Chain A
Amino acid sequence: KNQVEQSPQSLIILEGKNCTLQCNYTVSPFSNLRWYKQDTGRGPVSLTIMTFSENTKSNGRYTATLDADTKQSSLHITASQLSDSASYICVVSARGYSTLTFGKGTMLLVSP
């Protein structure tokens, strides 16, 4: 069964600090991996999409990494801001399938 596991479930950090969120998946055959940011009460917004051949992709202060051999991805947030407080969702697409497998997300709270 295709699964996406994210850790930690929740995280509190001080404003200005860095943090790293983890995503492990068992989706096969792998097509691409996405990270989304979801503010409370809003729809998710895409941060990055990585295919098998890409192992790093950045979007401003967000940097995602992918290790397709170990089926792990991480999202690193640099110099966190209060507006980074949100749920971060890892989503994996399987090649040849129309649906995506979503993780439950990591809830990040950036404290002043």
Chain B
Amino acid sequence: EADIYQTPRYLVIGTGKKITLECSQTMGHDKMYWYQQDPGMELHLIHYSYGVNSTEKGDLSSESTVSRIRTEHFPLTLESARPSHTSQYLCASSDHRLKEKLFFGSGTQLSVL
């Protein structure tokens, strides 16, 4: 089992609200990632980090932001949620000793009404 945790598991909010999805890992991995996944579709990278104070945008345009102040913590924030943000958000970290094998959290299912 991977030691990477996401909260909340499920979130239903109204349009315009600010939300933060939490992700923490206790494996000491430098690299962390946020993916977005819609049902039956492939994962799309929205943000990644190579270490503390490092953040990069991924392939999928996103209105979210991330921060990496501590190695173990990589939260994702939506300043103003919209129905188009409804999706599953998966956090992951990787181990360079294992060919960057990804360890995923259980995900946050976000519904914006």
Which residues of A line the B interface, CB within 8 A?
A: 4, 32, 34, 36, 41-46, 49, 51, 89, 93, 98-100, 102-105, 107
Contact = CB atoms under 8 A, between A and B. Distances in A.
Nearest to A46: B101
A46 B1 CA distance: 11
Given A104-B41, A104-B42, A49 B99 contact: yes
Contact of A41 (B58, B98, B101, B107): B107
A63 to B, nearest CB: 18
Nearest to A100: B45
A41 B99 contact: no
Interface of B: 2, 40-45, 48, 56, 58-59, 90, 92, 98-107, 109
Nearest to A50: B99
Q: What secondary structure prevails in chain A residues at the interface with B?
A: strand
Contact of B98 (A49, A89, A107): A49
A46 B109 CA distance: 21
A32 B99 contact: yes
Contacts of B102: 34, 36, 44, 46, 100
A93 B42 contact: no
A43 B34 CA distance: 12
Contacts of B105: 43
Contact of A99 (B42, B58, B99, B106): B58
Contacts of B104: 43-45
**Complex A-B, nearest 8 residue pairs according to Cβ-Cβ distance, in ascending order:** A43-B104, A102-B42, A102-B43, A104-B42, A49-B99, A44-B104, A43-B90, A46-B101
27 contacts: A32-B99, A34-B101, A34-B102, A36-B102, A41-B106, A43-B2, A43-B90, A43-B92, A43-B104, A43-B107, A44-B43, A45-B2, A45-B104, A46-B101, A46-B102, A46-B103, A49-B98, A49-B99, A51-B99, A89-B42, A89-B43, A93-B100, A98-B48, A98-B56, A102-B42, A104-B42, A105-B42
Contacts of B101: 34, 46, 49
B42 A103 contact: yes
